[in-house]
Amino acid sequence: MFIANWKMNGSESMLTGWLEGVDKTLDKNTQSECILCPPACFLFQASKIIKKQELGIALGAQDIDPKTASSLTGGIGGSMLKELGCEYVIIGHSERRELFKEDDSLLLEKLKSAFFANLKVIFCVGESFEEKEKGRTLNVLKKQLEIIYQVPLNNLMIAYEPVWAIGSGETAEVKYIKEVHNKIIEEIKSHEKGNFLGVVYGGSINSSSSKEILSLQEVDGLLIGGSSLEHKEFSNIAMSINEKKG
Ligand code: PGA
C-alpha cells in the first residue's frame, strides 16, 4: 500500500488537481494500492470526487477521537469518518504522540473507537534517535505495540516510522528496515491478530529511495509525508509497486 499522509497541508484546489493527476498517471490496479489521508476538512470533498470519478484510491483519516459518553467539542468519531467514506485511520503518529502528548491510554481509546466503527487501522510505531543510538529500538517498539493486543482489531496495519527519519531527509538503511520489520512481523504473529495487513515503512521516502525499500519482502508498503503532496512524485513512488511484483 502507498499511504499519502498530507498532514496539515492541502486545499480544495490541490485536492482536485492531485486526484486528477494521480488518476491520469496510475492504472486502476495501482490506484487500488493507494490510500489518501488528507486533513479531515477535505475528506468529504475527496470522497465525493473518488466516488464520482470511480477512482480506485481508498480514503483514510489522519486521526480519530475516542468514543466517549461525555461531550467532546471538536471531536470526530469513528462512525463520522466511516460516513465520510474512510476505510482507514492513522493512529499513533509520532507527531501526535509528541505534540499532543498522546499516550498509550488515549491511543487505546482511539483504537477502540476505530474498532467499533470497523475502520482499518494504520498504527504507527518508531524509535527516537537517542533510543536507536542506545540500541533500544526493539524494546521501544515492543512496548508501543502492547496496546494493540487489547483490542480485537479486524484489520491492522503497522507503520514503522523511525522518528529521526520523519521529515529529516534521512531514510533508515535498508538492512535496518529489514531487521526491524522482521521483528515487528514476528511480534504481531505471536499474538494471533485478526487480519494482519502487514508492515509499511515511513520516513523521508521519495521516488529515489522507494524502489529499494519496497523490494524487501518484509515491506508491504510505504507511508509518505512530504513527497505525497505533489501528485507526480507520489505517482512515481506508487509505481515502485512493479519492483514488488517483479
Ligand atoms: P515524511 O513523513 O515522508 O515527510 O518523512 C512521513 C510521515 O510522518 O508519515
Residue nearest atom 2 of ligand 1, based on CA coordinates: 225
Q: Is 225 in the pocket of ligand 1 (CB under 6 A)?
A: yes
Mean of pLDDT values over 83-101? 97
Mean pLDDT of the chain: 95
The span from the CA of 89 to the CA of 195, in Å, is 15
Whether 191 is a known active-site residue: answer no
Out of 204, 207, 213, 230, give the residue to mutate to test ligand 1, the one with the largest number of ligand atoms within 8 Å of its CB: 204
Q: Is 235 in the pocket of ligand 1 (CB under 6 A)?
A: no
Using CA atoms, how far residue 228 sits from 19, 38, 92, 138, 147, in Å, is 12, 10, 19, 28, 29
By three-state DSSP, how is residue 4 classified?
strand
Q: Is the pLDDT reported for residue 154 higher than 90? A: no
Whether 181 is a known active-site residue: answer no
Percentage of residues of the chain with pLDDT beyond 90:
89
Mean of pLDDT values over 112-118? 96
Q: What is the pLDDT of residue 189?
A: 87
CA angle 222, 228, 231 (to 5 degrees): 125
Predicted confidence (pLDDT) per residue in 121-141, tens digit: 999 999 999 999 999 999 999
Tally the domains of the chain: 1
Out of 223, 229, 234, give the residue to mutate to test ligand 1, the one with the largest number of ligand atoms within 8 Å of its CB: 223
Q: Ligand 1 centre and the CA of 204: distance in Å?
A: 6
Q: Is 56 in the pocket of ligand 1 (CB under 6 A)?
A: no
Q: Ligand 1 centre and the CA of 153: distance in Å?
A: 25
CA angle 22, 23, 29 (to 5 degrees): 100
165, 176 Cβ separation under 8 angstroms = no
Q: What is the pLDDT of residue 190?
A: 87
Q: Is the pLDDT reported for residue 161 higher than 80? A: yes
Predicted confidence (pLDDT) per residue in 3-40, tens digit: 999 999 999 999 999 999 999 999 999 999 999 999 99
CATH assignment at residue 86? 3.20.20.70
87, 50 Cβ separation under 8 angstroms = no
Predicted confidence (pLDDT) per residue in 48-80, tens digit: 999 999 999 999 999 999 998 889 999 999 999
Q: How confident is the model at residue 175 (pLDDT cuts 50, 70, 90)?
A: very high
Domain that holds residue 141: 2-245
Q: What pTM value is reported for the model?
A: 0.96
Record the cell numbers describing residue 130, joined without a space: 537517542
Residue type, 99: L
Torsion, Cα of 138, 140, 146, 147 (10° steps):
-140
Beta bridge partner(s), residue 198: 157
Q: Is the pLDDT reported for residue 241 higher than 90? A: no
